[in-house]
Homo-oligomer: A and B are copies of this chain.
């Protein structure tokens, strides 16, 4: 199948598929007589795998490693596990950082009484209110 069809099936845009090929994360498929990329189901499966991993927030280097590991059937999955745990940890840190942001933004907005800029508690907070 051509790139557009595999794009539709996997939810990975054609431009992104070509990008993955350039980056060496997806092996280059054969070409038709007219030089179109000609994908089979294996490539589609790989792309789905990549998309799922990306949707879960794994970095491209992580995805690369997960793909490599996924081909070594008899190996222990301890590495996969630790990669996933490390990533989960990162996600949790990111959530915590965003929650701090959210809370401060909320407080800031709540304290603003919507008069003029010179009274504005939001501008105040940004300018000097907390910290040295």
Q: Which of B56, B70, B108, B128 contacts A45 (CB 8 A)?
A: B128
Chain A interface main SS type:
helix
Interface string of A93-132 (1 = CB under 8 A from B): 0110011011011101100101111111011011110010
Bound together, the chains give a CA A99 to CA B119 distance in angstroms of 36
List A39-74 residues whose CB lies under 8 Å from chain B.
45, 48-49, 52-53, 55-57, 66, 69-70, 72-74
Verify B127–A70 contact, CB threshold 8 A. yes
- Which range contains the number of A residues in contact with the other chain? 35 or more
Verify B117–A80 contact, CB threshold 8 A. yes
Verify B109–A81 contact, CB threshold 8 A. yes
A residues bordering B, Cβ < 8 Å? Answer: 45, 48-49, 52-53, 55-57, 66, 69-70, 72-78, 80-81, 84-85, 87-88, 91-92, 94-95, 98-99, 101-102, 104-106, 108-109, 112, 114-120, 122-123, 125-128, 131
